[in-house]
Amino acid sequence: MKFHIIAFMLFCAGNLTAQNSIESILRAIEKNNKELQASEQLTLSKKLEAATENTLPDPNVSYERKWGKPASIGKTGELSVSQSFDFPSVYVYKNQLYDLKSNLYDQQKQIIRQQVLLNAKTICLDLISLFQQQKLLDLRLKNVQKLSSLYQKRLSNGDANILETNKIELELYNIKTQMRLIETDKNNKLKELQALNGNLPIEENLTDYSPVDFPESFEIYSQEAIASDPELRSLENELKVARKNISLSKSLWFPKFEIGYIREMEPTDKYNGISFGISIPLFENRNKIKQAKALSGYTQMQIENTRLQSLSTLRQLYDQAVNLKISMQEYNKLLQSQKTLSLLNKALENGQLSMIEYFIEANQVYESMQNYLQLENQYQQIVSQMYRYKL
């Protein structure tokens, strides 16, 4: 059996089933994750709070009762009901502000959603890597067990020495230890994934990576990524809110009004009437426009800084992915040119290699395979971060 055929089996050619498995896990987590459920309730709470900012103040009801002295002059009373309200343009701006804040809270919820799903996908990719390492160790274990059986017979026949047998037994012990450690890591990752899924079991088996489409150019990719970045979208909505607050602050300099009904009751007569009042905003709104403009300027600078930081991060991720892809291609060529394990086994059986020489050659092959697995996992993780905006 050619080594490149073994490599093809081990090094996890991606398939649509793998993609569907990860996607189904992410959709389940999106439905069951407690943090996302809490975020949904927090978003609803913020929207309701924003809605209360555009309501009329409570009406004011007062009643006065006066007793005359001497009692012969009688008693008087007064009932007053009044309602105050802002200038009409204030309610227009507050209504527009509510719509902008609702969009902002939805974007903030999207940021949390993306973080949770990216974390879940990272764990899924780690589980695939651990499964592939198990496959590699299974191959090593079967090979060493075969050698152990062979050298036990040779030792019985006097064709081998105890040192060679001990070397094989030590290799068996090392492999089994690594397998137990990987099984522990795998169980821990599954528990993390289950916790993200609301402590519900994960039914899917993750064994292979899915194919990834690498962007043709950084410029096209970065434009798409920046346009879909929820953090930038959130900041842009914050800027819209800040600018609308400037308009609202200006409109608050218009007077407030109060209108009401009055009923006066005297011993012999009763009077009905209306009341009208106006509030001149001389002190209450001082510096509010300046504060709103300052907040708008701050948010604008935050957007520019975040965009620059995002572009830098995307550039780094893109360059890392390119280098990892090149390294994977180089390793693939190297692995196909390596000696097959079957040839090494035959050379050992025919006495053309000593046990030490065999393990040196075999370990180089296994090390190359392990390095390839690590490179592939790093590549998948980087590409996952690059396309996190599609989660």
Instruction: Give the DSSP H/E element, type plus range, for residue 275.
Output: strand 270-279
The overall longest dimension of the chain from CA atoms, in Å, is 137
d(CA 178, CA 166): 18
How many residues are there in the chain?
A: 391
> In the numeric block, which tokens belong to residue 147?
């050698």
Helix, strand, coil percent values for the chain (each to nearest 5): 70, 10, 20
* DSSP classification of residue 260: E
Distance, CA of 279 to CA of 258 (rounded, Å): 8
Q: How far apart are CA 96 and CA 271, in angstroms?
A: 43
pLDDT at residue 160 in the model: 67
Indicate the DSSP class of residue 351. Answer: T
Return per-residue pLDDT of the chain as tens, 391 residues: 344 334 444 444 455 456 668 999 999 999 999 999 999 999 999 999 999 888 888 889 998 888 877 766 778 888 899 988 888 899 999 999 999 999 999 999 999 999 999 999 999 999 999 999 999 999 888 888 888 887 777 777 777 677 777 888 888 898 999 999 999 999 999 999 999 999 999 888 888 888 888 888 899 999 999 999 999 999 999 999 999 999 988 888 888 889 999 988 887 788 888 989 888 887 777 788 888 899 999 999 999 999 999 999 999 999 999 999 999 888 887 777 665 677 777 777 777 777 777 777 777 788 888 889 999 999 999 999 999 999 8
Residue of 4, 1, 13, 6 whose CA lies nearest to 376: 13
Whether residue 324 contacts residue 378, with contact meaning beta carbons closer than 8 Å, is answered with yes
Predicted pLDDT at 333: 79
Give the model's pLDDT for residue 8: 42
Q: What is the pTM of this model?
A: 0.84
Residue position matching structure tokens 């809605």: 51
Nearest to 235 by CA among 288, 292, 289, 304: 304
pLDDT computed for residue 362 by the predictor: 79
Q: What is the structure's pLDDT at 337? A: 64
CA distance 278 to 183: 76
Whole-number Å distance between alpha carbons of 139 and 134: 9
Write out the E strands in 17-161: 60-67, 75-85
pLDDT at residue 11, as a whole number: 47
Which H or E run contains 262? Answer: strand 256-265
Measured in degrees and rounded to the nearest 5, phi and psi for residue 267 equal: -55, -35
